[in-house]
Amino acid sequence: MERRLLEAARKGNVDELKDLVSSNELILKEMALEAAGHTLLHVACVAGHLDVVQELLKHMPKLAKKVNAGGFSPLHIAAAQGEVEIARELLRVGEDLCFVKGRERRIPLHYAVVNGELNVMKVLLSASPESVEETTAREETALHLAVKNNRFDAVVVLVEHLKQHKKEQVIKRQDNKGNTVLHVAAAIQNFEASHAVPF
């Protein structure tokens, strides 16, 4: 049965998923326990199946908070892949999902920034404006990550967000090596970013 559920989630077969779950109400819980945090919801997010995500969340919304062995929650996956609608659906479970820490204490916003997924970034920042202040294990802000990964459009979105929410102090934050965003921009010769970031 588990194999059939996994295939249904991968292929986006909601009808089969509904049938299997209704025949054994505990199957989702059992599978979540056995898989060390990697759930059908993770599979559905990777595959980009919004309808499967919706169905799974109806039965077990707390699956949205599970972090798999790779350090990804379902929202981390949606953010990294630019799945805007899936991110919105997951955030209906709760805006606190924006603060779930994955590998190296990265939150979903960090993955959206690194991958240049501007639309997901905007959804996450709208759901939780404070998430822009979160730092990684290396004390890097989302702005550090945007500059470091040459995501100029992300830099612009983040700076605008910081100004709008009166959080400009984040621009001056230092990472664990004492570098501000401007230090990082200068070190990697990212002149676009250094001009976009106000002093």
What is the pLDDT at residue 183? 80
How much is the pTM? Answer: 0.85
Q: Say yes or no to pLDDT of 103 above 90.
A: yes
Q: What angle do CA 5, 9, 15 make, to 5 degrees?
A: 75
How high is the mean pLDDT of the chain?
89
Percent of the chain with pLDDT over 70: 89
Q: Say yes or no to pLDDT of 197 above 90.
A: no
What's the rounded mean pLDDT across residues 148-164? 94
- Residues 6 or more apart whose CB falls under 8 angstroms from that of 59 comprise 21, 28
| Spans of all domains in the chain | 1-66
Return the exposure string of 48-66: e unless at least 16 CB atoms fall within 10 Å of the residue's CB, then b. Answer: bbbebbebbbebbeebbbb
Answer for the pair 52, 9: CB distance below 8 angstroms, yes or no: yes
Q: Say yes or no to pLDDT of 121 above 60.
A: yes
Three-class secondary structure of residue 186 per DSSP:
helix
* Interval 32-76: pLDDT, tens: 655 566 788 999 999 999 999 999 999 899 999 999 988 999 999
